[in-house]
Amino acid sequence: MAKQGTVLMTALPFCHVLYDSERGKRCDECFELRPDQLKRCVSCKFVSYCNKTCQQKDWLDHKKECHHLRRIASVIPIERARLISRILYKIKRGVIEAEEWNQFDDYPERTIHHVISHRELIKQDPDMKKKVATILFETRRFMGKDTPSDDDILNIYGKLIMNAFVICDEINHPIYVGCGMYIGPCIMDHSCCPNAIITFSGIRMNVRAGTDIAVNNHNHAFISYVDLLAPRQERRAQLQPDYYFFCECTRCLDDSIDELMLSTKCPNNNCEGVIIKKDGEFQPCETCGAASFSSIYATLAAETAQWSAATFQRLQRCEQDGRDPAEILAQCEECLRGQDEVLHPVWNVHRIRLMDLAAMGHMRLEQWAQAAQCILVTLPAKRKYFPANHPNLSLQLFSVGKALIYAGRCDDALPHLHEALDMISATHGNEHPLVEQVEQLLTECKSEIKKKAAATTN
């Protein structure tokens, strides 16, 4: 048995690249946020490192691409083409393994050649035709005379589509900073109710048991490939074309969770009840019994959900591209006002996801009271929709504790920080820098509470 919190696997990437949006802010090797310490490669002037150690670590992977980056200096290569070329060059050097450790009883030896490609499925998929043409063009342009056969490129591309991981900086606001191929962790299958969780410390990936796992076998450890705040239809719509399977995990077969995620407000303005849909029909309100739903209500609910999903995706891209947080926040708030009329304020995920973006905007603008309020509103749903001890929930507890302290509400912050510390210790491990950050905030919070009590007594 693997107990909750047990490290199941730890791995460094076989190859990795920093996202262009983070270039000039982070080291291209370790991904640490050190904008004042970075020194660019004197040859290509494209990649940057925080010190000589990182430059030396990356040199064998960067050596070949350095020449290509100089050759096409006026064109920024897409990250995926760079990652493909790095993998191809590494295999050509005879390197096929990565630095990994695991404690599974049955774990097979794995190399890059064991990572499934689904190359033939991709070649036959009409929806992939444009993507394949783009990646072949970009890789040929980048690698020039070193370009291998289209089949070799597609083989690596197929491995990346199915198995690459986005790398998250969980310390300086949770943000995706790059992508990498992790040979060991990609052996684990998907579930929308995972029992294993992934966290990052720099580029090092750690996989922990989110709950007790009865059999210490990699076939019994499941991670999630998709956003767990996405409704079932959206999750399946991502999994089917990207991973070539139709998810039938226990959560996907449970209609009740999805019904709550898409719930609307009771049409009775004096009631805070939840309206759910079963088999295309709105069900009577369990709070007040309201059972009359006009066609206007039905149309409004459907249209609001549709434009809310589209708005979230657009604003999420803006946030990831580093757009003005004030501008993103203003659009979030406009959208939230539009949702007020029909989407349930506590349980509807379209509203929760926009609340998350709004909270991020408030925090970036140091509007702590507003940020705390946004996060507090979403906590009940996240406790419902995420598995116990999920990193997303633990980071939200940390964020709301931090926001409440800076908003001058230390008494309210204390219980959230205590819960965050317990959960982050389980999800990230006691040695993770986040644990130290939470402990520092707890010390600060308790100190402020004592000062306030002393001032009141005096």
User: Per-residue pLDDT for the chain (458 aa), expressed as one digit of tens each?
Assistant: 888 889 999 999 999 999 988 999 999 999 999 988 999 999 999 999 999 999 999 999 999 999 999 988 767 778 999 999 999 999 999 999 999 999 888 888 899 999 999 888 888 888 888 889 999 999 999 999 999 999 999 999 999 988 999 999 988 667 899 999 999 999 999 999 999 999 999 999 999 999 999 888 888 999 999 999 999 999 999 999 888 899 999 999 999 999 999 999 999 989 999 999 998 899 999 899 999 899 999 999 999 999 999 999 999 889 877 789 999 999 999 999 999 999 999 999 999 999 999 999 999 999 999 999 999 999 999 999 999 889 999 999 999 999 999 999 999 999 999 999 999 998 898 989 899 999 999 999 999 999 888 887 76
The answer to whether residue 342 sits within a structural domain is no
Q: In one letter, which amino acid is 28?
A: D
Q: Rounded to 5 degrees, what are φ and ψ at 237?
A: -65, -25
Q: For residue 375, what pLDDT is reported? A: 97
What confidence score (pLDDT) does residue 183 get? 96
Kindly state the helix (H) or strand (E) to which residue 165 belongs, with its residue range: strand 164-169
Q: Are 184 and 11 in contact (CB under 8 A)?
A: yes
Q: The tokens of 397 are what? A: 């507890």
Alpha carbons 274 and 261: distance in angstroms, whole number: 11
Q: What is the pLDDT of residue 107?
A: 83
Q: How many CA atoms lie within 13 A of 430 on its CB side?
A: 1
In a domain, 193, yes or no: yes
Token pair, residue 119, equals: 């190359």
Q: Looking at residue 389, what is its pLDDT?
A: 83
Instruction: Let me know if residue 275 belongs to a domain.
Output: no
Q: For the chain, how many structural domains are there in total?
A: 1
What pLDDT score was predicted for residue 458?
A: 65
| Boundaries of domain holding 129 | 7-23+77-243
Instruction: Look at residue 242 in the predicted model and tell me its pLDDT.
Output: 84
The verdict on residue 54 lying in a domain is no
Q: In a 10 Å sphere around its CB, with 0-12 CB exposed, 13-18 middle and 19+ buried, how is residue 167 labelled?
A: buried
> What's residue 217's pLDDT?
85
Q: Cα separation of 205 and 428, whole Å?
A: 10
Longest dimension (CA), the chain: 80
pLDDT of residue 216: 83
- Coil, helix or strand at residue 277: strand
- Asked if residue 268 is part of any domain, the answer here is no
3-state secondary structure of 223: strand
Q: Which helix (H) or strand (E) holds 154?
A: helix 150-163
Place of tokens 């926040």: 329
Q: Residue 112 and residue 46: Cα distance in Å, rounded?
A: 27
Q: Residue 181: in which H helix or E strand, if any?
A: strand 175-181
Cβ-contact 332, 315 below 8 angstroms: yes
Note the pLDDT of residue 353. 95
